[in-house]
């Protein structure tokens, strides 16, 4: 469930790939983009139901780990500890106190101010879908999601401890005062090094990470800027990415909006 419950990917060799975003009990989830692969696609003859064997994905292309326990209480990286979560921009304000509790707790992300301006995947970040672009002239493994910006904290969504709230609402849990779309592209050759056990799954880093509105074209997203499902049509070189709650053309309703991009 923690590693194969959100997206399915058709791999170039015809096998099935999968991955998952953070979910309840997220300590065992991948703290960043994730792709496991190598399983055959199910057929009508695949055993199904309670007690039947699980589908096994023998290969890991990229996968990360929780940083909690590797970070000091003040957000600095403990001596000798590697960064096992995906690295990200440090455009967030570190919090280690849940306002509902009132005292510092072991953080899950580093404090960029104490780590050279670099950040790590936070509890409010997410990845929602993945496609494998396999063209004669271009190849890449693309992940689609969003990240928290500004103040990032765990606690009541209405107050980060400094009187600021999450504009998208919610309840008790991961929150941020801002949300931005985030897409990641990985070089398949780098991921094959993981498959070959040449590097650890968390050592693979994206060749590019960006907000599509800044890097490609204005892309209207929902309040949390999350993507939904994604599909790549190899024949037309078109990439389809769903944006949940981005279509507000009908008052009172927030419907999905489908963005279409052309890979040149």
Virtual CA dihedral for 186, 192, 198, 200, nearest 10 degrees? 50
**pLDDT tens digits for 55-97?**
999 999 999 999 999 999 999 999 889 999 999 999 999 999 9
Nearest to 32 by CA among 86, 101, 68, 82: 86
pLDDT of residue 86: 97
Cβ contacts of residue 77 below 8 Å, gap of 6+? Answer: 70, 71, 83, 110, 114, 115
Element (H, E) at 178: strand 172-186
Q: Considering only 108-122, 136-150, 154-168, 241-255, which range has the smallest mean pLDDT?
A: 241-255
CB atoms within 10 A of CB 68: 16
Categorize the per-residue pLDDT at 22 as very low, low, confident or very high, splitting at 50, 70 and 90. confident
Alpha carbon distance 122, 65 (integer Å): 12
User: Cβ(90)–Cβ(115) under 8 Å?
Assistant: yes
pLDDT of residue 23: 81
pLDDT of residue 108: 95
3-state secondary structure of 201: helix
CA 117 from centroid of its chain's CA atoms:
20
β-pairing, 139-156 vs 92-93, is parallel
Please state, in angstroms and rounded to a whole number, the distance separating the CA atoms of residues 177 and 7: 27
Give the pLDDT confidence score for residue 3 in this predicted structure.
86
2 versus 57: the higher-pLDDT residue is 57
The residues near 5 (Cβ < 8 Å, ≥ 6 apart) are: 18, 20, 23
Q: Please tell me the predicted confidence (pLDDT) of residue 254.
A: 86
* CA distance linking residue 139 with residue 39, whole number of Å: 21
Specify the pairing of strand 230-233 against strand 35-39: unpaired
DSSP state of 71: B
Give the pLDDT band of residue 41 (cuts 50, 70, 90): very high
Q: How far apart are CA 261 and CA 240, in angstroms?
A: 7
What pLDDT does residue 24 have?
Answer: 76
pLDDT of residue 1: 61
Would you list the domain boundaries of the chain? 7-262
The confidence score (pLDDT) of residue 9 equals 96
Mean pLDDT, residues 171-179 taken together: 94
b/e string for 27-57 if b means 16 or more Cβ within 10 A?
eebbbbbbbbbbbeeeeeeeeeeeeeeeeeb
Q: pTM for this structure?
A: 0.94
Nearest-5° Cα angle at 182, 181 to 185: 145
- pLDDT for 130 equals 97
**Of residues 137, 111, 82, 173, the one with CA closest to residue 263:** 137
CB 106 within 8 A of CB 139: no
Q: How confident is the model at residue 213 (pLDDT cuts 50, 70, 90)?
A: very high
How crowded is residue 77: how many other Cβ atoms within 10 Å of its Cβ?
19
Lowest mean pLDDT among 26-30, 62-66, 141-145, 238-242: 26-30
């Amino acid at each position: 469930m923690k590693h194969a419950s959100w997206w399915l990917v058709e791999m170039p060799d015809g096998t099935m790939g999968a991955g998952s975003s953070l979910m309840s009990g997220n300590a065992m989830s991948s703290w960043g983009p994730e792709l496991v692969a190598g399983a055959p696609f199910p057929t009508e003859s695949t055993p199904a139901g309670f007690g039947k064997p699980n589908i096994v994905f023998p290969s890991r292309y990229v996968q990360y780990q929780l940083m909690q326990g590797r970070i000091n209480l003040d957000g600095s990286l403990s001596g000798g500890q590697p960064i096992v979560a995906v690295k990200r921009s440090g455009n967030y304000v570190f919090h280690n106190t849940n306002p509902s509790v009132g005292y510092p707790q072991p953080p899950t992300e580093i404090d960029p101010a104490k780590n050279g301006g670099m950040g790590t995947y936070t509890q409010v970040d997410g990845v929602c879908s993945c496609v494998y672009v396999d063209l004669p002239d271009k190849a890449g493994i693309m992940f689609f999601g969003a990240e928290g910006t500004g103040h990032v904290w765990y606690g009541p969504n209405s107050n980060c401890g400094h009187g600021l709230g999450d504009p998208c609402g919610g309840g008790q849990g991961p929150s941020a005062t801002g949300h931005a779309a985030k897409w990641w592209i990985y070089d398949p050759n780098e991921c094959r090094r993981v498959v070959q056990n040449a590097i650890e799954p968390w050592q693979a880093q994206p060749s590019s990470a960006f907000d599509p509105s800044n890097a490609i074209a204005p892309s209207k997203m929902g309040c949390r800027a999350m993507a939904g499902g994604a599909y790549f049509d190899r024949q037309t070189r078109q990439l389809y990415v769903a944006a949940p709650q981005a279509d507000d053309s009908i008052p009172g309703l927030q419907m999905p909006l489908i963005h279409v991009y052309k890979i040149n």
